[in-house]
Amino acid sequence: MEIQYVLDTFFALFAMTLIIFMVPGFAMLEAGLVRTKNVTSVLTVNVMIYAIASLSFLLIGYEIAFGSWEYQSKMSQWAFFLFQMAFVGKVVNIVSGGVSERSRILPLALFTIVVGAFIYPLIVNLTWGANSLSETVFDISGLSDLAGSTVIHSTGGWSLLAAILIMGPRSGRYREGKVKVIPASNIPLVTLGALLLWIGWFGFNGGSVGSISTKESADAVALTILNTNTAGLAGAISGWLLTYYRYKKFDITMILNGALGGLVAITAGPDKYDIYTPILIGAIGGALVIWAVPLFDKFKMDDPVGALSVHLVNGIWGTLAVGIFIDKVSIWSQLKAIVGVAVIVFPISYFVIYTINHFFTLRANDEEQFDGIDSVECGMDAYPEFRRGL
Amino acid sequence: MEIQYVLDTFFALFAMTLIIFMVPGFAMLEAGLVRTKNVTSVLTVNVMIYAIASLSFLLIGYEIAFGSWEYQSKMSQWAFFLFQMAFVGKVVNIVSGGVSERSRILPLALFTIVVGAFIYPLIVNLTWGANSLSETVFDISGLSDLAGSTVIHSTGGWSLLAAILIMGPRSGRYREGKVKVIPASNIPLVTLGALLLWIGWFGFNGGSVGSISTKESADAVALTILNTNTAGLAGAISGWLLTYYRYKKFDITMILNGALGGLVAITAGPDKYDIYTPILIGAIGGALVIWAVPLFDKFKMDDPVGALSVHLVNGIWGTLAVGIFIDKVSIWSQLKAIVGVAVIVFPISYFVIYTINHFFTLRANDEEQFDGIDSVECGMDAYPEFRRGL
Amino acid sequence: MEIQYVLDTFFALFAMTLIIFMVPGFAMLEAGLVRTKNVTSVLTVNVMIYAIASLSFLLIGYEIAFGSWEYQSKMSQWAFFLFQMAFVGKVVNIVSGGVSERSRILPLALFTIVVGAFIYPLIVNLTWGANSLSETVFDISGLSDLAGSTVIHSTGGWSLLAAILIMGPRSGRYREGKVKVIPASNIPLVTLGALLLWIGWFGFNGGSVGSISTKESADAVALTILNTNTAGLAGAISGWLLTYYRYKKFDITMILNGALGGLVAITAGPDKYDIYTPILIGAIGGALVIWAVPLFDKFKMDDPVGALSVHLVNGIWGTLAVGIFIDKVSIWSQLKAIVGVAVIVFPISYFVIYTINHFFTLRANDEEQFDGIDSVECGMDAYPEFRRGL
């Protein structure tokens, strides 16, 4: 029906727009979390990721993922493309955030092309997409993952893990068995960024229902957004209580990362739960972040924004949760896909990043890190008039 | 009809999303208005209010307000809930903003539970909601208040008044009969926050029409958003002219507070006015802010963000305005509800805050205020690398 | 049909809301680009422009542009007005950005009234609007300009050119044949602002299709938003590559200005191109910015935010591009309208600004510029607690 076509197109554009708010969301979050001497380069990377990943997906990736432009006929193909395109940059954002304060920009830009044109589209092909490569690679199409706990967040997480193993920690971060605390430089930006991500998630998950034009789908969209939000609330509260219990202080970066953890965790199945289960899923998601952040530090996996804890750990947890809480969903299919994505994404990413690193040197050296990536790569201070202390 | 159900669900989700932009809106506005030593705690409070108030409303408050989850049948019940949930945190935001720079976080979190689970739902029950408590308490259901000049803004305002009376002013604010001027620390954040609130208001008031799926309701929604915006414009201009006339300077905090005053004032009846009346209502709203801010200081009611002037004074003015300008609306019903909400909210809030204060000490002491709430409560500076002067 | 009326009203309100995000967008972009001593005044100007231009359009301009309030019958007239109103302030934003760091606020406010009430409405009348003045003035209604490469961006650009010629450069900007580089004070704000503008553009261009309620119009809207975004991506990448090639550094202000240049360039015809042409149009748009910014400096036309390069140069390029790439569109009609708008807007703006300047002194003197516009006009520092270096 024409009216359904119109409604679903409009809704996809609405959802896409919300996701695009995640571009400033990630940019502000990361700009706030790093030191001032790395702020400009982090912002540059964020803008370039959006530009490069999206264009790579337009020119190459989309057809790998979905087979053809006419994949969708129930809404405007352009709207469907835009909604799918809005996802791509997020995968690279996860990587770039986790290697910030020590990575050079050009190699990251090259890696962005590979992710946007090939790695992410391959995973989409095997899961949400055309499924044409399932026989060539292997079949994980049994996965139940509404909006990408595995497809987006674990994919980004495994890539990031590869990058961190290759690049090593920021210089001076682990010394004499101790972890040097490096405080976030701008808490309002961290808060703004996390809240924009939160809002973007409504579009991410709500739009992934794929339609709003029937009573059933409208209910599913509304339930999805409600459950998405609830998991974020619960993650924030669990992040708060656990850090408060341990340190007797309110740590807003952990409250916000808890919320993001909850949001990642709910992403695999927000349309399937009743309205109370997301409280549990989100609270566990927040707790996992609080538990994982120091754990990765223990293994000297340096991740300035907590991306491994938020995206990889909770991507796995969220995907399992659908199998645990929803009868119809097989936990073995979920596990198979979790492992499947890992054994595809991690080695490919490792190989690609290793190769790029070989030719272009991904890691800024100690002196450059001391001076800050901004002066080396951008020649531009983020706040040139504010005198620095610390 | 199914298509109307779909459209009204979609529209409620759209409006809800706009309101959620008020979460970063309030957070940025308040983070910009307070001194840097209190910025992290203000942000922490804002995020926690959203999490705690929303979850309290989900678990307890909603059923008090509306009687049952199936209250609405013309749109998805989940969308209706989300739209209503988006309001709750705003009431506490009004309180927390007005007591910032001197309040501890934990007692505020406890108060947030009480407002989200009980106080605000009670007022909604008596006005927009189930009306099941009208006989037990008293009947103010004759109130004409589209989106909450009284239900939201006065409720928050009376609670804030109680909090200010109990907590007293920031240390050093009133000394030897003089008011110490404490400048806002970050004007771009103030501006960003106020503009996000402005945009959120389109969802707040437009969504409160409750439907967009007929020609009449579509016209009503569009008129509501037009009039909402116009009152904001007029409030900004009136705030500008009055401060410029008095001080020969452009004071952007007063221009923005004037706009917010105009927006609060229009909120009771934006669907009822012609397109020119909001100019008058908004201009008076802006003027009331300019007049009330120094007045509250005269009475040593210290309100760092001007919340009493914006929300309480204009909540009352906006509610009266509907009675004054709209023939069918009885000014006595409006007055009755204004007084009714006052005599419910003020004493309950006073009692609750007094009790919380007794057990948890809401007010940071002079030394803690001197050091800043951030270091005492959060152990985290908002801008650790910028050297402070002043 | 009623349902189409409802859908088109809803869609216009959605698009309008996205455009209003350009208000904080412009405000943050400009606040980030100027020095800290001028940030408060830039923000004040941005808020006042929105208030004054919109109210002038409501009271006077709209009827000049469209003849009557009942111009539109296919959607709510209030929604149509709101969508059109959202454009007005943008024209003045282009001017105010380009003369920032040296302009006084009150004369700008007066000029805003003239643009919002007369100059912009006149151009709309001759192009998108009532066309009632085409015989009196001259006929440029053959122009093909979906969302205002000429009507908005060139109009703002010609006004800005007049203002720059009258006001001259910032004091000390051009000395002994050299251009003094004045770095942006806050790169995160620049990034946030540009990204909000980008998102606003989806509403600007998408909404200009005028309808989403049929399959054809839904496709047109989705294609428009897709092509708009693509041109922005291409502009960013072209801005990046060209500055990197020349300076071996990543210059985020040029990447973002390149994106904005691409967005301006696509604005005349995003509904008409296939999905690959915008890559070319946007890339050329980005290149034009990189080429024009130093060129204007060569002629000592001081434009702190690059507004002439982004809006005027690309407004012209984008309008020509429709004539070049689309067979049905006559390049002569495009040229005629480009010239027509120039010969109307430039002399009128010149006369109005000259007159205002005569009575109110638009330009702050050297000493005032040295102290900063903030202290002279606002008596309020944007960041009073951060110690300044540089």
What is the CATH classification number for the domain harbouring B293? 1.10.3430.10
Interface test with B, best of C19, C22, C40 (most B CBs within 10 A): C40
The pair of three-digit structure tokens given for residue B168, joined into one six-digit string: 């007293």
- CB–CB of A274/A325 below 8 Å? no
pLDDT of residue C316: 98
Written as one letter, the residue type at B149 is S
Taking contacts as CB-CB distances below 8 angstroms, the residues of chain C near B252 are 40, 43-44, 47, 378, 380
Is residue B136 included in any domain, yes or no? no
Residue C390 predicted with pLDDT over 80: no
Instruction: Flag the least confident range among B136-145, B211-220, B270-279.
Output: B136-145
Task: Determine the residue among B7, B8, B17, B49 to mutate to test chain A binding: the one whose Cβ has the most chain A Cβ atoms within 10 Å.
Answer: B17
Find the mean pLDDT for residues C97-120.
97
Chain A residue closest in CA terms to C200: A17
**Number of domains within chain A:** 1
Q: In degrees, to the nearest 5, what angle opens at C-alpha C202 toward C-alphas C199 and C207?
A: 140
The C-alpha angle B9, B220, A223, rounded to 5 degrees, equals: 10
Domain, as residue range, for A108 = 2-130+143-175+185-364
Enclosing H/E stretch for B174: strand B174-175
> How is residue B179 annotated by DSSP?
E
Q: Are B148 and B267 in contact (CB under 8 A)?
A: yes
Residue B47 lies in a domain: yes
Write the pLDDT tens digit of every residue in C239-280: 999 999 999 999 999 999 999 999 999 999 999 999 999 999
Q: Cα(A298)–Cα(A292) distance, rounded to whole angstroms? A: 10
pLDDT-based confidence at residue C138 (cuts at 50, 70, 90): confident
Contact C378, B251 (CB under 8 A): yes
| Predicted pLDDT at B1 | 74
| Residue A371 burial (CB count, 10 A) | 12
Cα–Cα dist C19/C23, whole Å: 8
Residues 6+ apart with CB under 8 A from C218: A5, A6, A9, A10, A75, A76, A79, C212
B28 chain-A contacts, CB cut-off 8 A: 188, 192
The helix-helix angle for C2-20 and C77-98 (nearest 10°) equals 20
Give the best residue of A383, A387, A390 to mutate against chain C (max C CB count within 10 A). Answer: A383
Angle in degrees, CA A178, A181, B28, rounded to 5? 165
Residue C71: what pLDDT? 84
Length of chain A: 390
Q: What is the DSSP string of A68-87?
A: SGGG--SS-HHHHHHHHHHH
Residue A157's nearest CA partner among A361, A341, A358, A351 is A341
Is C248 within the bounds of a domain?
Answer: yes
State residue A389's pLDDT score.
64
pLDDT at B385 over 80: yes
Q: How many CB atoms lie within 10 A of CB A2?
A: 11
Q: Residue for token digits 């609750």?
A: B352
**Does residue A157 sit within a domain?**
yes
Q: Provide CB contacts within 8 A for A386, sequence distance 6+.
A: A36, B385, B386, B387, C36, C383, C386, C387, C388, C389
Taking alpha carbons only, the member of C96, C93, C28, C98 closest to residue C305 is: C98
pLDDT score of C113: 98
Q: Give, as one character, the DSSP assignment of residue A213.
A: S
pLDDT confidence of residue C374: 96
Residues of chain A contacting C215 with CB distance shorter than 8 Å: 2, 5-6
- What's the whole-number mean pLDDT along residues C328-356? 98
Which tokens go with A267? Answer: 């992403």
A179 DSSP 8-state letter: E
- At B169-190, the pLDDT tens digits run 999 999 988 999 999 999 999 9
Run of H or E including B175: strand B174-175
Print the SS3 string covering chain C: CHHHHHHHHHHHHHHHHHHHCHHHHHHHHHHHHCCHHHHHHHHHHHHHHHHHHHHHHHHHHHHHHHCCHHHCCCCCHHHHHHHHHHHHHHHHHHHHHHCCCCECHHHHHHHHHHHHHHHHHHHHHHCCCCCCCCCCCCCCCCCCCCCCHHHHHHHHHHHHHHHHHHHCCCCCCEECCEECCCCCCCHHHHHHHHHHHHHHHHHHHHHHCCCCCCHHHHHHHHHHHHHHHHHHHHHHHHHHHHHHHHHCCCCHHHHHHHHHHHHHHHCCCCCCCCCCHHHHHHHHHHHHHHHHHHHHHHCCCCCCCCHHHHHHHHHHHHHHHHHHHCCCCCHHHHHHHHHHHHHHHHHHHHHHHHHHHHHHCCECCHHHHHHCHHHHHHCCCCCCCECECC
Coil, strand or helix at A263: helix
**What CA–CA distance (Å, rounded) separates B281 from B197?**
19
pLDDT > 70? residue C285: yes
Q: Contacts of residue A229 in chain B, CB cutoff 8 Å?
A: 54, 82, 85
Look at residue C325 and tell me if it is in a domain: yes
Q: Per the domain annotation, does A351 fall within a domain? A: yes
- B290-336 pLDDT tens trace: 999 999 999 999 999 999 999 999 999 999 999 999 999 999 999 99
pLDDT score recorded for residue C389:
65
Contact (Cβ atoms closer than 8 angstroms) between residue C289 and residue C257: yes
Using DSSP's 3-state secondary structure scheme, residue B178 falls into strand
Question: Between A215, A225, A236, which is nearest B82 by CB?
Answer: A225
Is pTM beyond 0.90 here? yes
Q: Which of A373, A341, A342 is nearest to A30 (CA)?
A: A373
Range B43-57 average pLDDT:
98
- The closest of A246, A204, A173 to A84, measured between CA atoms, is A204
Asked if residue C385 lies in contact with residue B185, where contact means CB atoms within 8 angstroms, the answer is yes
pLDDT in tens, B70-121: 888 899 999 999 999 999 999 999 999 999 999 999 999 999 999 999 999 9
CA-nearest residue of chain A to C181? A380
Distance (Å) from the C-alpha of residue A244 to the closest C-alpha of chain B? Answer: 10
- The Cα-based distances of B129 to B57, B67, B133, B134, B376 in angstroms read 14, 8, 10, 10, 41
Q: What is d(CA B374, CA A300) in angstroms, rounded to the nearest whole number?
A: 29
Contacts of A382 in chain C (CB under 8 A): 186-188
Q: Is there a contact between C261 and C286 (Cβ–Cβ < 8 Å)?
A: yes
User: Is position B378 within any domain?
Assistant: no
- Tell if the CB–CB gap between B387 and A383 is shorter than 8 Å: no
Residue A58 to residue A52: CA distance in whole angstroms:
10
Query: B365 in helix, strand or coil?
Result: coil
Judged by DSSP in three states, A20 sits in helix
- 3-class SS of residue B160: helix
| Coil/strand/helix, residue B171 | coil
Report the candidate in A270, A237, A100 with the shortest Cα–Cα distance to residue B82. A270
Would the pLDDT of B195 be above 70? yes
Hey, which residues does C175 pair with through a beta bridge? C178
* Assigned domain for B35 exists: yes
> What is the helix (H) or strand (E) element at residue B229, kind and residue range?
helix B215-247
- Burial-class residue A244 by CB neighbours within 10 Å (0-12, 13-18, 19+): middle
Q: Report the distance separating Cα B118 and Cα B159, nearest Å.
A: 13
Longest dimension (CA), chain B: 68
Indicate the residue of A47, A81, A382 with minimum beta-carbon distance to C226: A81
C-alpha span between A108 and A127 (Å, rounded): 26
Which stretches in chain A have pLDDT values below 50? none
- B332 HSE (CA, 13 A, CB side): 0
Q: Which residue of B has its CA nearest to A251?
A: B378
Residues in A closer than 8 angstroms to C275, CB to CB, are: 58, 78
What distance in Å separates residue A38's CA from the closest CA in chain B?
12
Q: Is residue B2 within 8 Å of A217, Cβ to Cβ? A: no
Q: Which of A327, A193, A207 is nearest to A267 (CA)?
A: A207
Question: Which amino acid appears at position C42 of this protein?
Answer: V
Give yes or no for residue C110 having a pLDDT over 80. Answer: yes
Helices (H), chain A: 2-20, 22-33, 39-56, 62-66, 77-98, 105-114, 120-126, 155-167, 187-208, 215-247, 252-266, 277-298, 307, 314-325, 331-360, 366-371, 373
Which residue among B215, B253, B388 sits closest to C5, beta carbon to beta carbon? Answer: B215
Q: Which whole number is the average pLDDT over C69-75?
A: 89
For range B196-209, the mean pLDDT:
98
Pairing mode, strands C178-179 and C174-175: antiparallel
At residue B389 the predicted structure's pLDDT band, cuts being 50, 70 and 90, is low
For residue C1, pLDDT over 80 is answered with no
Confidence of residue B387 (pLDDT cuts 50, 70, 90): confident
Is the distance from CB of A90 to CB of A114 less than 8 angstroms? no
